[in-house]
Amino acid sequence: MGSHSIYWFPSAAYGFITIANKHLPSTVVTAFWPMQVPAAVTLNYLVNSKTITIGQGLGGLLIIIALFAVVYADSRERKKIEERKDGLLNLYDEDLR
């Protein structure tokens, strides 16, 4: 399986990413592509016992904080859109009475 793993694991990863992308908004998908770098550095540390430099740690932390900000902003935007839809539907219902 050793030599075949270089084909199967990346293929599976891209397959999972494709499936997840179908269910997420495009802004979240675009924002999470940079997460591959901190994930690769972390896995390299865990699997190969490579040390993480201060720059790598701070860069990964900065990416994670930025992604949380994107997700938070996206959820707030969705809530505002739902509130507007609910308000418009209530106005429409009142007009019909």
- Average pLDDT rounded to a whole number, residues 64-84: 86
pLDDT above 70 covers what percent of the chain? 84
- Average pLDDT rounded to a whole number, residues 81-96: 67
Task: Indicate if the pLDDT at residue 75 is higher than 60.
Answer: yes
Euclidean distance between CA atoms 87 and 80, whole angstroms: 10
Task: Indicate if the pLDDT at residue 2 is higher than 70.
Answer: no
Q: Is residue 28 within 8 Å of 74, Cβ to Cβ?
A: yes
Task: Indicate if the pLDDT at residue 65 is higher than 80.
Answer: yes
Phi, psi values for residue 76, rounded to 5°: -65, -40
Task: Indicate if the pLDDT at residue 94 is higher than 70.
Answer: no
Euclidean distance between CA atoms 40 and 88, whole angstroms: 46
pTM of the model as a whole: 0.51
